[in-house]
Amino acid sequence: MLFSLTTQELMERPDLWEAVHRLRYKIFVEEMGWSDLARPDRLEIDQFDHDEAEHHLVIRNGELAGYQRMLPTTRPHLLSDVLTDLYEGTPPSGPKVWELTRYAVAPGHRDGKRGVSTVGTELIAGFVEWGLKRGVNQVIIEFEPMWVLRALQLHFLARPLGYQRTYGNQQVVATLLTFNEHTLEVVRERRNHFAPVLNRGYPVQFGLKQAS
């Protein structure tokens, strides 16, 4: 189950808001070591959590299992303002291009030994569904070069936006992924799950597990 919430909507649900920023801290500061983002309250928040950002939350058994943040490229975003050495020339932007950031799967939900977990592929199915619904067909992602292979396996059209760079002990390459209905079909086939994953409204209150 994946929910897409604007920053405003997320803030209206303090339980979700806290779970999101805590998971981000756990993964990006503690696990990946992005120490610039360290804070004493152990919540990871940056300047791009603005009112046009969209937060995708995957919920499993009343818990936040996966997360990604979508940023419009019509205003400053990570590639244009922070990761400027990752592109050559002029990076793509416009209403049909969004940037996918903070892709994260909570530690308890990484079932695929080396492969991509079901929560991980739900996030992928989620942004494709979300994009096709609102006329977005391109996403910029800064990821490890390894992901290029997986994107191609899912029949995304991939194109690097610049050279790969090394940040700390991580290789990163900015990539533009283009998708359509066919991509969604392939993603669903790979997941062996054909129903839409994107839900309307809010997940139930955290801590109040449903009886079933």
Partner 1 sequence: MGVDAAMSQFDRTLEFMDQLQHAGTAAAVCERLLSVTSNFGLTALMAGTVPRPGTPRGQQKDHVLLCDWPGDWLERYVQRNYVDHDPVVSHMKNLQAPFQWREASKMITIDRDSDEVMGDAREFKLRDGLAFPLVTLDGEIVMVSLGGEAVHLSEAEFSMVSLVSTYAIGRAMQLHTMAGKTIDHIELAPRERECLQWAAVGKSEWEISQILGISEHTSEKHLLNAKSKLGAVNRVQAVAEAIRRGYIS
- Binding residues for partner 1, rule: CB under 8 A, are 88-89, 112-116, 121, 145-146, 148-155, 157-160, 162-164, 171, 173, 190
Please count the other Cβ atoms lying within 10 Å of the Cβ belonging to residue 129.
18
Distance, CA of 24 to CA of 106 (rounded, Å): 9
Shortest CB 140 distance to partner 1, Å:
15
CA-wise closest residue to 160 among 46, 147, 169? 147
Output the CA–CA distances (angstroms, integers) from residue 44 to 3, 90, 120, 170, 202, in the order listed: 20, 29, 20, 20, 22
Rounded to the nearest whole angstrom, what is the least distance from the CB of residue 14 to partner 1 in the complex? Answer: 36
Nearer to partner 1 (CB atom), residue 20 or residue 172? 172
Residue 4 or 175 having the CB closest to partner 1: 175
Tell me how far apart the alpha carbons of residues 11 and 202 are, in angstroms, rounded to a whole number.
Answer: 12
Q: Whose Cβ is closer to partner 1: residue 26's or residue 155's?
A: 155
Query: Among residues 42 and 159, whose Cβ is nearest to partner 1?
Result: 159
Q: Which residue has the tokens 């990163």?
A: 172
d(CA 110, CA 9): 27
Report the nearest approach of partner 1 to the CB of residue 15 (Å).
33
Q: Rounded to the nearest whole angstrom, what is the least distance from the CB of residue 148 to partner 1 in the complex?
A: 5
- Residue closer to partner 1 by CB (options 146, 211) is 146
Q: Count the neighbouring beta carbons within 10 Å of the beta carbon of residue 153.
A: 12
Q: Least Å distance between CB 81 and partner 1?
A: 21
Q: Radius of gyration (Cα) for the chain, nearest Å?
A: 16
At residue 192, the 3 state secondary structure works out as coil
Comparison of 6 and 117: residue with beta carbon closer to partner 1: 117
Shortest distance, CB of residue 88 to partner 1, whole angstroms? 5
